[in-house]
Structures are given as C-alpha cells and as structure tokens.
Chain A
Amino acid sequence: MDLSTILLWFGILACVYMACNIGANDVANAMGTSVGAKSLTFRQAVLVAAIAEFAGAVLVGGHVSDTVRKGMVDPNLFADMPMHLVYGMISALVAASIWLHIASSLGWPVSTTHSIVGAVVGFGFIAGGADAVHWGKVGSVVMSWIVSPVMGGLVAYGVFRFITVFILDRDDPVAQSKKLVPFMVFVVFVILAISMVYKGLKNLKLHLGFLDALTISLIVGAIAFVIAKILVQKVKAVTPSDLTQQFISTEHIFKFLQVITAFYVAFAHGANDVANAVGPLAAVVSILDTGNVDMKVQMPLWILTLGGTCIVIGLLIWGMRVMETVGKKITEITPSRGFSAEFAAATVVLVCSKLGLPISTTHTLVGSVIGVGMARGLASLNLSIIKKIVVSWFATVPFTAVLAMLFYKLFIIFLP
C-alpha cells in the first residue's frame, strides 16, 4: 500500500468515527424532546431519525461541508504542497474526534461543529500563519454560534406565544387547534420541501430554479394540509367546560405535528452536522485524487452518503440507548411545547445550513427550549446548562485547535 492509500483510509476512519459520534450523541439530543413528549416511541424516533438524518445529510449537507473544507482556511496557500493540506485535514478530524470522545465520557454538552471548526482553524494557523485563516469567515461562524441559540429562543418564544394566544387561551382549544394545526403542517412542509429541492437536489444531478422549487414545495405543502385536515377531523370534539379533556385532546392533536417536526429537526441536524465529519475528508479525497488543491471540486456523493450512513449507524448502535433513557427521564415536556422548540431549532439550523454557517444543532435546541420556558410553557428548567454551554464554547475551540496543531507538526516531522 502506498502512502496516499494509507492516508485515505486514515481519513475515512476518522470521518467514520466523527459521524458515529454525531449519530450517538447529537441525534439523541435532537430527538429527545419528541420521545420525552411521548409523540414518538423510541423505536419510531430511531426510524424517523435514521431516514431524516440520511436525507438531510445527502440533500443539504454539501453547503456546510464546503465552509469546513475551504471557507475558513485558504487552500491556495497549499498549492505548492498539497500533501500538507491532507495532513492538516486529517489532523483536524483526529483532534476533533479525541475532544468529542473526552467530552462524551465526561458528559459535557460540547458541540461537534465547534470542535471541527476549532481544529481546522488551528491547523491552518500553524501551517500557513495567520494569513492562511479567513478571519472574516471564522468571525461570522463564531458570531453564528452566539446568534443561533438566541434566534432559536426568540422563534420558539414566538411560536409558543402564538399557540397560547390562538389555541390554549381560547374557549374551545380543541376546535381551535383543529382549525390551525393543518396550516402549521402546511408551513412546516413548505419549509422542509423547499430546503430539500432548492439547490439541494443538485447532489442528485437535478437542477431546479427557485420558482420551480417554490411551486413543488407549495404543492407538497397543500397535500400535507389536506392530509392533516382529514386526520384532525378524527379527533372528537370536547365540550368547552371539560377543561382537562380539552387539554388532553389538544395535546393529542399536537402529537401529529410533533411527528413532523421530529423529522424536520433530524433532517436539519443531518444537513448541518454531516459536514463536521465529511468536510475535511472531502478535501483529503480531492487532493489525493488529482494531486493538487482544487477550489471547484464537487462534494462527491459517496462521501455524503458515507457520512449519512455512519450517523445512522452511530444512532443505531449507541444513540438508541441514550434516547430510550431520555424518553423515560424527561416527562415535563408536552407535544405543544416540544413542537415549538423543535420547529424553532430546526428552522434556525436549516437557514444557517443554507447560508453555509456551521452551527451547533444541540445548542440551538437548548436556546429554543429556554425560549418556550420564558413564554411560561414549561413548569421548570434547570438553567445551569447555560453556564456549561458557555464554558464549552471557550474550552472546545482552543483545545481542538492546539491538538490539531500538534498532530499536524507530527505529520510534518515523520512524513516530509
């Protein structure tokens, strides 16, 4: 076996480890609210997550991967020594994997995304000096880490207030939700469909303009609307005076909606987080294939597929148990609250993915849940998680950056 084959396999291995780690930890975080609200059994959640994560990774995953691959470190500086970029990207993958492994065993809520971004910037800095790093892009990425949980919180607050004012506060919440839920289904499906077909399908060699994409999405939304309308009609009317039954039935209707947002959140997660594993690998593969640093390389579909598959494998092997525990542990969230938080988180994550901003799905979801809490949607929340997350922001990037530098130096010493 020659050197480049060994390097390729090494890169693939690190990528597989990262993707499995994402599947094991982050997917459980993303799906936990659905399982906790009893909208999905944990087996259904695993099934929904597997399909949606894979679809998100393959259909939308390319945007963020490009940022990780070439957005933050200028590949042109490596034109004369392409192998150094290979070493660097592999160093980044290994450094991020080690950090995630430590964090997972300690239970720290660190972000996969932050780990890989820190590692890529770290090696870029040591390999090409400060000029090699696109500080503007890195700055906008770091800003997005702070903005995304806040946005998630604001959107979730707004969605839950909407539900409170237009459904829960009304005299007949069941009748009201029968009226409004199909519209919400419509909105979710349109967003979901448009993010899939607009620019997404180019991975499948289908090019659709915005208008075509919008038309398709509206049709999909309309079909979903009709199906939702039929489904909610099956829920029996409740006399307005029976308040307890009113709330039980209303939450029952929201279960339909939460099944859809569970898919939505897993899809957004796959779209955003697959990049952390496959972004560096794509750079490695392209250099090893062509022998030089090429800016305009297409993200190969097989790499996205590999990433998506490994996320699903990680979920099936380790994530299932996590999700089962979570489902039993959190009982304080109901479908209407879960819907608000998931819808907000998934929308923010998906918008950021489309903009090529690698953000943390988990942290955004935390922001969204807090948003619902601020809208008086949850009986109690333990806010010490905020402190943990802020600490993890400051710990993750320096750690993975230094570790990636170290590995890169080792590569240079032993493999000239």
Chain B
Amino acid sequence: MRSIFSMFARSPFKPLASHIDKVRACVDQIKPLFAAQLAGNYDEVQNISQKIIQLEYESDKIKNDIRDHMPQSIFLAVDKRDFMHLLSAQDDIADSTEDLAVILRIRQLANPPEIKEPLTQMVDHIVMSALSACDLIHELENLLEASFGGAEAEKVEKACHQLATYEWEADKKQFVFAQKLFSLGDSLSAADLLLWNEVSKKLGAVADKSEQIGKTLRIFLAK
C-alpha cells in the first residue's frame, strides 16, 4: 500500500506525561520518607527508599524509550532541544529524589529536635514546587490543542509564575534549615552533618529542576 501515514509520527508528548506521572509517584514519597526519618522509624525509611528506587527505575525506562523513539526527521510543535531539556528536568527530579532515598539509607541518621521544624517546612515547600511542575506537564495536552495561545496559554503562564514563587520560597526555607543545621555545630557528628547537608542540597535540586520545567514551558509559549 502506498500510504503516507508514516508522517503521523507517534507524539512524544503522551509518553512525556506518563514519565511525569512516575516522577510524581517518586515525589509523593518524599513527605512519608521524611516523616519516617523524623520519627526515627528506620525500617520504614528503608521500605520507602526501596519504593522510590523502584519508581525511579521505571521512570528511567520511559525516559529511554522517549529518547530512543525520537527520529532525526521528527518535527515537533516545540523546539526539539527544548523538549529534550524538559525531559531532562523531569528525569533530574526523579534522580534527586532517588539520591535522597539513598542518602537516608546510608546510616541511621540522627534527628536533632532543632531541625525538625525547618526541615518539615522545607520539605513541604519543595514538594509543593515539584507537584505544581507535574501539574504543568499535564497542561501540555490542552496547550497543544490551543496551539500555544489563548486562555490556556495565559493559564500556564500564571502557573509558571506561581511555580517560580514556590521555588523562591523553598530556597528561603532551605536557607533557614542550613542555618539551623550548622548552628548545631559540634553537637552533631561530622557524618550526620555531612549527610544532612547532602539532603538539603538534593532537596534544593528537586525545587530547581521543578522551576526549570516552568521556564521551559514559558519558552514554548514565547515562540
């Protein structure tokens, strides 16, 4: 058959949404993970870490599938490089979440009562940024339908703005946490201090990459 329908390439936007769903599943484990850590329930920390590592592995499979099925000659409604940046940002969120899980498994990390409040605050804000980034990816379907214009574009624009604000607030919470952590000084073992600092950095990375998603979507709108 002399068909021309090979030109309707499989859209990579649907797999992108499935990927973000796996990423969201990882992010959803962050709060329970820290709740278990702060409660000193190390068995539960192990369990949740395992779950996150599994979810991250599944998200990686989807990511590789998207990359492998992106032919040279494909033409997307958005710049192909921007699309790849978006995928990388999503992947980085899952990666950083996995790193968190691994760090908390290295040893039974001490929980000084002073850091409990700033840590919870930081985690809440970072999860909020990440989840709103996940929501944004699901707007892509409508955005494509609207051909990147009109009321839908305004809605996404607003949400990107909101996301940037969340990230900014998360940064502030991260600073407060770092201040508290290092004010503890010698009362914390060097290993614990080092690992808590790593935790803080990885949480910061989750927020940064979430904001990156918002920035890339704004590039889609601007073109």
Contacts and interface: CB of A to CB of B under 8 A. Distances in A.
B74 A381 contact: yes
B147 A377 contact: yes
B156 to A, nearest CB: 10
B2 A168 contact: no
A109 B8 contact: no
B75 interface: yes
Contact of A373 (B13, B71, B77): B77
A22 to B, nearest CB: 10
A101 to B, nearest CB: 10
Interface in B127-148: 142, 144-148
A383 B75 contact: yes
B1 to A, nearest CB: 5
Given A169-B146, A169-B149, A380 B4 contact: no
Interface stretch (A191-199, A210-218, A294-302, A327-335): A327-335
Contact of A322 (B3, B7, B77, B142): B3
Nearest to A167: B150
A36 B145 contact: no
Given A376-B77, A379-B144, A382-B8, A108 B151 contact: no
A243 B155 contact: yes
A381 B75 contact: yes
A110 to B, nearest CB: 6
B8 A244 contact: no
Contacts of A110: 2
Interface residues of B, number: 30
A247 B144 CA distance: 11
B142 A380 contact: no
B147 A379 contact: no
Contact of B13 (A25, A244, A333, A379): A379
B145 A247 contact: yes
A369 interface: yes
Given A168-B149, A243-B151, A381 B2 contact: no
A411 B142 CA distance: 62
Contacts of A332: 8-11
Contacts of B8: 36, 329-330, 332-333, 369, 378, 381-382
Contacts of A262: none
Interface string B1-40: 1111111111111000000000000000000000000000
Interface string B146-174: 11111110010000000000000000000
B64 interface: no
Contacts of A97: none
Interface string A299-328: 000000000000000000000001000100
A160 B1 CA distance: 29
Interface in A12-28: 24-26, 28
A356 interface: no
Nearest to A247: B145
Contacts of B9: 332, 380-382
Contact of B146 (A107, A168, A362, A373): A168
Given A373-B75, A380-B11, A384-B73, A107 B3 contact: yes
Interface in B71-112: 71, 73-77
A382 B2 contact: no
Given A109-B4, A362-B2, A373-B77, A379 B149 contact: no
B71 A384 contact: yes
B76 A380 contact: yes
Contacts of B142: 243-244, 247
B146 A25 contact: no
Given A376-B148, A382-B9, A107 B75 contact: no
A29 interface: yes
Contacts of A369: 7-8
Nearest to A392: B2
B5 to A, nearest CB: 5
A383 B2 contact: no
A32 interface: yes
Contacts of A382: 6-9, 71, 73-75
B74 A29 contact: no
Contacts of B151: 170-171, 240, 243, 246
Contact of A380 (B74, B148, B149): B74
A12 B2 CA distance: 24
A381 B7 contact: yes
Contact of B77 (A243, A365, A380, A383): A380
A270 interface: no
A380 B10 contact: yes
Contacts of A277: none
Contact of B1 (A168, A171, A322, A377): A322
Contacts of B149: 164-165, 168-169
Interface string A323-360: 00010011011100000000000000000000000000
Nearest to B14: A379
A216 B4 CA distance: 36
A352 B142 CA distance: 37
Contact of A170 (B145, B150, B155): B150
A154 B142 CA distance: 25
Nearest to A244: B142
Contacts of A100: 2
A279 interface: no
12 contacts: A32-B4, A36-B8, A164-B147, A169-B149, A173-B150, A244-B142, A362-B4, A366-B4, A379-B144, A380-B77, A381-B8, A384-B6
Please give me the 6 A-B residue pairs with the lowest Cβ-Cβ distance, nearest first: A169-B150, A382-B9, A379-B11, A384-B73, A385-B7, A169-B149
Given A165-B149, A240-B151, A379-B13, 14 more contacts: A28-B1, A104-B2, A160-B147, A243-B146, A244-B142, A366-B4, A366-B7, A373-B75, A376-B148, A378-B8, A380-B11, A380-B13, A383-B74, A384-B73
